[in-house]
Amino acid sequence: MHYLIHYPISLFVAAIICFLSFFTPPQTELNEIPYIDKIVHICMYGGLSTLLWVEYLLRHRRINPRHLVIGAVIGPVLMSGSIEILQSVCTETRSGDWLDFAANCTGVLLASLLGYYVWRPLIQKHFFRRKPQA
């Protein structure tokens, strides 16, 4: 219940990613773009990890690096790996792909770098300012 209250947007996006991972997409002209599938994977997992970082940072003045690594890095990577395995074992229309997993991990890594070097300083500066002393 704690996670539903504190990370609602991230959980919603994770649910959408799970749905899309087992959904058979229609063929479109975008399929002609080389590596579009990998770009989509980077964006999906980069977006999820970014949301996890931002929701965590907005709720915690003091950062516990272990919680961030487990929740915003290891969690999405494990989710990604599990989905790729389930796609290869449980579906006939989708296949697990190591390159998809690599693209997902790349998205998580990029989001973590962005979270640490961009979002963390911005949120600490603008949301957790010290009050001026009188």
SS (H, E, C) 33-61: CCCHHHHHHHHHHHHHHHHHHHHHHHHCC
pLDDT at 48: 98
Residue carrying structure tokens 């991990």? 105
How large is the greatest C-alpha to C-alpha distance in the chain, in angstroms?
Answer: 68
Q: Give the long-range contacts of residues 73-77, CB within 8 A, separation 24 or more.
A: 73/49, 73/108, 73/112, 76/45, 76/48, 76/49, 76/52, 76/104, 76/108, 77/104, 77/105, 77/108
pLDDT at 131: 59
> pLDDT tens per residue, the chain (134 residues)?
677 788 999 999 999 999 999 988 788 888 788 889 999 999 999 999 999 999 999 999 899 999 999 999 999 999 999 999 999 998 888 888 899 999 999 999 999 999 999 999 999 998 877 655 55
pLDDT at 1: 67
pTM of the model: 0.89
pLDDT at 128: 77
pLDDT at 130: 62
